[in-house]
Amino acid sequence: MTVQEALEYYRSIQKNRHALNHALGVLYYDAVTAAPSDSAEGRGETMEYLSNLIYEAENDPKLKEAADYLSAHKDELSARDRREIEVFLRNNEYISKIPQEEYVAYTVLLNKAEAVWHKAKAENDFASFAPYIRDIFETNKRFAQYYKPDMAPYDVQLDLFEKGLTMEKADAFFEALRAKIVPLLKKVMAKPQIDDRFLEQNFPTEAQRRFSDYLMEVITIDPTHCTLRETEHPFTTGFNKKDIRITTHYHEDNVLSSMFSVIHEGGHALYELHSGDELEGTVLSGGVSMGIHESQSRLYENIIGRSRPFVDLIFPKMQEFFPEQLAGITAEQMYLAANKSEPSLIRTEADELTYCLHVMVRYEIEKGLFDGTIEVDDLPRVWNEKYKEYLGIDVPSDREGVLQDSHWAGGNVGYFPSYALGSAYGAQIVAKMKETVDVDRCVAEGKLQPITDWLEEHIWTFGGMYDPMDLLERCCGAPFDPSYFTDYLERKFTEIYKL
């Protein structure tokens, strides 16, 4: 074998694998956007077939041989190829240790779980979803043990979403946030609350749809490469850098919900749309980790979307979409309403200050489910107790409690810390960007392209070339420091609430 032959073989299999993942991704996207509710069975069979092919492509002995050969000759490879083989072998080590039947069975399980979760949430029926949570967590735990038998399974899980993250690091990070956020929230709660009653009106879905298209345009999303559809739970998926799909959920009684979810998913989409051309079709294309991904979405949603210049910019247009509802309301009132901070039930609609407390609840629960200190059947009770402890509120139903997120149904166990990490990364990234880009002015003038360009140059174009912490350090010129985020929150909420 020569390096050239090994590379050619490696690439041909990657191409097949990419096509299979594309097909599987479209099936999932169809399931949540367009397929009839009772259609999981037939789709499950197709998914089973495709998963088998993916597993076989991934575990092709000749592929591993080629990758090992390339790894042994890495000095002869370009930086990109070297990194690609490194990441491929890392992923391959995880998947190749899982027996094929278990791998395929898990895909089938997730397809069913998604449908059951939908119904369970709609009917507020935790008991019907509980067996799926148990199966999904047990499967992940088993896979983690196959992969790294000497490591705590939840550490394996965290590392899958955010390379290098461990419970020890996550505990320290959450502790640093808690120490700042809890006293700040206490001060906020002692002040008179922001009046946002003008939002308690009907905002028709049709007008909200047009508003979403406008928002996507403002943040520089190319609509010929990214579409927006509606799902129960907003998300982003991408098949390649020219085909990104984002979704939202319209609530006629809550116009801000979709507004901020469109901007959030738009941040994910921008990241994917601007991944480096030369990485396309490789394991390095798209975002490097969920933490960095969430840093981009949370940065757009909050640091930009919930800023005064942004609300000032879009408010006149918003009044055109909702002329009766917003008659006599000012941009300042909208800005304050968008930043009203109070303990609430739903994570995706939480304000910036309380948001990370929602994440901490989920992190502790996942940790407990992994180490056996929490049983699945006790989840509703534990969830409600933790909401009382962290946010001081009573959870009236599982629908607004433990059933609210789709992550566990989708097998995304260990994902939640990414949201809090992402929020903190985003604050540090924007602080760095502000050294050379007048962010507030770009936003005020409605010209967000310099922001897009900066993020493309410093983050997006690199795809998976660097591990998350290395990428952040290269971008910011300093190691990760959560105090950028807590300082940002303190400045912002001190000003808004006159603390």
For the record, the structure tokens of 467 come out as 């591990």
The residue (of 170 and 262) whose beta carbon lies closer to Zn ion is 262
Select which of 58, 265, 352, 364 is catalytic.
Answer: 265
The residue (of 83 and 358) whose beta carbon lies closer to Zn ion is 358
**Minimum distance from CB of 242 to Zn ion (Å)?**
21
Piece of 61-69, 98-106, 214-222, 289-297 that binds Zn ion (CB under 5 A): 289-297
297 is a site residue for Zn ion (CB under 5 A)? yes
Which residues between 432 and 461 bind Zn ion (CB under 5 A)?
none
Piece of 196-204, 280-288, 291-299, 323-331 that binds Zn ion (CB under 5 A): 291-299
The residue (of 422 and 464) whose beta carbon lies closer to Zn ion is 422
Quick check: is 265 catalytic?
A: yes
d(CA 211, CA 209): 5
The letter for the amino acid at 417 is P
The residue (of 81 and 301) whose beta carbon lies closer to Zn ion is 301
Degrees, nearest 5: CA angle 464-467-473:
115
Q: Is 309 exposed, middle or buried (0-12, 13-18, 19+ CB in 10 A)?
A: middle
Question: In terms of residues, how long is the chain?
Answer: 499
**Minimum distance from CB of 294 to Zn ion (Å)?**
5
Piece of 44-52, 135-143, 297-305, 358-366 that binds Zn ion (CB under 5 A): 297-305
66, 32 in Cβ contact below 8 A? no
The letter for the amino acid at 465 is M
The residue (of 289 and 297) whose beta carbon lies closer to Zn ion is 297
Question: For the chain, how long is the longest CA-to-CA vector?
Answer: 74
**Minimum distance from CB of 54 to Zn ion (Å)?**
25
262, 212 in Cβ contact below 8 A? yes
Piece of 11-19, 201-209, 294-302, 377-385 that binds Zn ion (CB under 5 A): 294-302
**Minimum distance from CB of 71 to Zn ion (Å)?**
33
Of 106, 108, 112, 86, the C-alpha closest to 146 is: 106
Question: SS3 for 223?
Answer: coil
**Minimum distance from CB of 264 to Zn ion (Å)?**
6
Backbone angles phi, psi at 125, to 5 degrees: -120, 85
**Minimum distance from CB of 287 to Zn ion (Å)?**
10
Element housing 248 (H / E):
strand 243-248
d(CA 60, CA 54): 10
4, 12 in Cβ contact below 8 A? no
Look at the block and give the residue holding tokens 């996942």: 366
Give the CB-nearest residue to Zn ion.
297
The residue (of 109 and 455) whose beta carbon lies closer to Zn ion is 455
**Count of residues that interact with Zn ion, criterion CB under 5 A:** 1
Distance from the first to the final alpha carbon of the chain: 69
For the record, the structure tokens of 39 come out as 């259609």
Residue positions annotated with a catalytic role? 265
Chain residues that interact with Zn ion, rule: CB under 5 A? 297
